A and B are shown apart, each in its own frame.
Chain A
Amino acid sequence: MSAVSPATKPVSPPTKPVTLERRSLLGAIRPSRAILNIVLVASAVFWLVPTIGLAIISLRPESLFQQSGWWTALTAPAQLTLSNYQTLFSQGLVTGGVLDSLITSLEITVPATLLVTIISSLTAYSLVFGRWPGRSVVFLVIVGLLVVPIQVALIPVVQEYRAFGSLTGFNPFGTIPGVVIFHVAFGLPFGIFLMYNFYSGIPKEMLEAGRIDGAGEWQLFRRVALPLGLPAAASLMIFQFIWVWNDLLVALIFLGSNPHYTLTIFLFNQTRTLAANYWIISTGAMISIFIPLIVFFSFQRYFVRGVLAGAVK
């Protein structure tokens, strides 16, 4: 005999539960909740201390710096002041000053980022959707170039710049374009890799339909691949921006004796002076951190995606 249960009017099937149980299936060692939180809070505090310390140092006058540690300001916040920032900014755009260095950094970072993204997209497009032989070999070469250290290129590029200078009269060494060119070249392997992986996920049929309709390669690139590739391009731009903004070595070498500095060079120079200048160092460092922080917090998701793409295939 069948058991019958009263059936009510069928309700539409419930959707998958939004909050599943917080059952950890990772099977790691299970400390108690309290200990776990203590450990992680302590870690978080430890991680924040350096940045907060730097911020507070930059908000204290230099005289206080030698007398007492920045942590004393936590109990005496009245001593905090913006005078350091005011001093630096009041210098205005004096060459070699903070604001001038900020602008120089921008002048290098923005073009480098844009160029890398555009050229990477073009190259990746050709590698994925082109039909010429030898594509896979070229891609492997680019993958090989991913970890090549810039040290192997520094001296010869200086030599090349010189040669170029004697040929055309413009020696990129010591100029901003000289720095940008180098950054673009060494940003390309990663950029191409990132865009290649993304474009590989686009079904070839999309472009084939376009080809049948008579579109040329440039149109296909501009109107299909590029818009579809925007998320990956965004990740690349942000990753590249922060990378170039924070660079020291390339700018140090290729700006040569240029009176304009990047922010990183500006900071580096401060460590070479013998004067007690932590107020400049801390304030300058805070200013140099400011822009990447904004980029990071605005585009966190894209930045993390870029980082992950570099690490995991």
Chain B
Amino acid sequence: MASVTFDHVVKRYTSDLTVVKDFNVEVADKEFMVLVGPSGCGKSTALRMLAGLESISEGQIRIGDRVINNIAAKDRDIAMVFQSYALYPHMSVYDNMAFPLQMQHMKKAEIDKRVKAASSSLGLGNFLDRKPRALSGGQRQRVALGRAIVRNPQVFLLDEPLSNLDAKLRAQTRIELQKLHRDLGTTFIYVTHDQVEAMTMGDRIAIMNAGILQQVGTPGDIYDHPANIFVAGFVGTPTMNFVAATVQDGVAKASGFQVKLPKALAAAKGTLGFRPEAVTDRITDPDSAMEMKVDVVERLGSDQFLYGKVGGDSVTARVDPRIKVEPGDSIKLGLDTRTLHFFDSETELALL
């Protein structure tokens, strides 16, 4: 069983510097879990605690049923791909991949078999004699992967492996990593700051901010049912619209429009949240229609985004790309009330 459990894990450097606060996540066996959040949120630290590169201040980390707090990194049966790949610069590709197996005192024949198998599946067969400095970025990354794969670990850790690649290679590698996960059938724990990677790759996502776990769930869950304003604003491009509103008699009143809330709320004021795709040129509910003064128009071919002001609030709308709109125009937009969110002082999700 290669499930991974973080049980009330805390990482404290000094008495006033706690980088990971009460982290609780259960990763199922063979799952692809993504830890995502802005820089400094503690995701890399959590990963490193799991790897054994940082000590655990409080709490337990378990792999399967085994508590690994005090087990040395090399005995945890974990492989890690570093952000900078951390290839051994003085060794050939072959030796880089063979090294962990040599440390396990594996027989030479067995090492050779595994290295050759991994390198051919990664397309590195012709580069076995090269040193890392003679490889491209993408090739180096594959060597780093190969070095991890040959170990046949229980858990695979990846620390922002795509951030050093150019955009095109990044998209390509994203797909390859997902295929790899399927082929290997091992638990993957993947750290990134990019919400697109998180949304596309993860079976489940754990979002962190300032050391605190914000929400854990499938990409769909996170997108449709964000637990708080941070999660809502973190996932989705362009970002969700946030508009201050007061509630009276089941109607939320913003400065430029109002909308009837689907269910009763306890709060009297808060923040209304709705994604750009909920604000379109199709007006289904005339009561919640709004008038936007357009500032900027972005035409992407398949989409058209309008950035402008509704009343006193900035709003982003996604409209039909065939509509002709220019900056300075006023346009009437409709709000889809089925995907409305309401946040009260950032802690509560009151709707949907």
**A17-B230 in contact (CB<8A):** no
CA distance in complex: A17, B13 (Å): 7
Q: Whole-angstrom distance between the alpha carbons of A21 and B17 in the complex?
A: 13
CB-CB nearest in chain A for B216: A3
Residues of A within 8 A of B214 (CB): 5, 7
Q: Which residues of B sit under 8 angstroms from A11, Cβ to Cβ?
A: 210
Q: Tell whether, in the assembled complex, residue B17 and residue A7 are in contact, meaning their CB atoms are under 8 Å apart.
A: no
The reply to whether B209 and A17 contact each other, CB–CB distance below 8 Å, is no
By the criterion CB–CB under 8 Å, are A7 and B347 in contact?
yes
User: Measured between alpha carbons, how far is A16 from B209 in the docked complex, in Å?
Assistant: 15
Residues of the A chain whose Cβ atoms lie less than 8 Å from the Cβ of B227: 2, 4-5, 7
B209 partner residues in chain A, CB cutoff 8 A: 7, 10, 13
Given A13-B38, A20-B13, A21-B55, A2:B216 Cβ within 8 A: yes
Interface of chain A residues 1 through 47 with chain B (CB within 8 A): 1-21
Q: Beta-carbon contacts of B235-261 to A below 8 Å, as 1s and 0s?
A: 000000000000000000000000000
A1 touches B346 (CB 8 A): no
Residues of B within 8 A of A13 (CB): 38-41, 209-210
Nearest chain A CB to B33 CB, angstrom units:
12
What's the nearest-Cβ distance from chain A to residue B230, in Å?
Answer: 6
The reply to whether B347 and A6 form a contact with Cβ atoms under 8 Å apart is yes
**With the chains together, A264 CA to B227 CA distance in Å?**
78
B217's partner among A2, A15, A17, A18 (CB-CB below 8 A) is: A2
Q: A7-B227, A17-B17, A20-B13 are in contact. Are A1 and B221 (CB under 8 A)?
A: yes
- Name the one of B40, B213, B231 contacting A14, with C-beta atoms under 8 angstroms: B40
Distance in angstroms from A241 CB to nearest chain B CB is 38
Residue of B nearest to A11 (CB): B210
Q: Does B19 contact A (CB under 8 A)?
A: yes
State which residues 159-217 of A face B: CB under 8 Å. Answer: none
Q: Does B181 lie at the interface of the complex (its beta carbon under 8 Å from any beta carbon of A)?
A: no
Is residue B225 contacting chain A, with contact meaning CB distance below 8 A? yes
Interface residues of B in 10-55 (CB under 8 A from A): 13-14, 17-19, 24, 38-41, 54-55
B40 near A17 with CB under 8 A, answer no
Residue of chain A at shortest CB distance from B14: A19
Contact present for A17 and B19 (CB under 8 Å): yes
Nearest A residue to B19 by beta-carbon distance? A14
How many of chain B's residues touch chain A, expressed as a range? 20 to 34
A5 touching B213, Cβ below 8 Å: yes
Contact between B40 and A7, CB atoms less than 8 A apart: no
Contact B218 A7 (CB under 8 A): no
In contact, B215 and A2 (Cβ under 8 angstroms): yes
| Closest partner residue, chain A, to B217 (CB atom) | A2
A12 contacts B210, CB within 8 Å? Answer: yes
Cβ–Cβ contact A5 & B217, under 8 A: no
Residue from the set A5, A14, A16, A17 with the largest chain B CB neighbour count within 10 Å: A5
Is B308's CB within 8 Å of the partner chain A? no
Chain B nearest CB, measured from A17 CB (Å): 4
Contact A5 B212, CB 8 Å, known A13-B38, A14-B40, A17-B19: yes
Q: How near does chain B come to A191, taking the closest CB pair, in angstroms?
A: 32
The contact of A1 among B19, B55, B213, B217, by CB within 8 Å, is B217
A9, A12, A21, most chain B CB atoms within 10 A: A9
Asked if B96 CB lies within 8 Å of chain A CBs, one says: no
Residues of B within 8 A of A9 (CB): 345-346
B210, B216, B225 — which one has the most chain A CB atoms within 10 A of its CB?
B210
Q: How far is the CA of A1 from the CA of B216 in the complex (A)?
A: 9
Closest 10 CB pairs of A and B: A2-B217, A13-B40, A2-B221, A4-B227, A7-B228, A17-B13, A3-B216, A11-B210, A5-B213, A7-B214
Could you list 30 A-B pairs, sorted by A, with CB under 8 Å?
Answer: A1-B217, A2-B216, A2-B221, A3-B215, A3-B216, A4-B215, A4-B349, A5-B24, A5-B213, A5-B214, A5-B227, A7-B214, A7-B215, A7-B346, A7-B347, A8-B212, A9-B345, A12-B210, A13-B38, A13-B209, A13-B210, A14-B17, A14-B40, A16-B40, A17-B13, A17-B14, A17-B19, A18-B13, A19-B14, A20-B13
Interface of B toward A, CB cutoff 8 Å: 13-14, 17-19, 24, 38-41, 54-55, 209-218, 221-222, 225, 227-228, 230-231, 345-347, 349
Residues on A lying within 8 angstroms of B by beta carbon are 1-21
If A2-B215, A15-B40 are given as contacts, then 17 extra A-B residue pairs at C-beta distance below 8 Å, sorted by A number, are: A2-B217, A2-B221, A2-B225, A4-B215, A5-B212, A5-B213, A5-B214, A6-B347, A7-B347, A10-B209, A12-B210, A13-B39, A13-B209, A14-B19, A14-B211, A16-B40, A20-B13
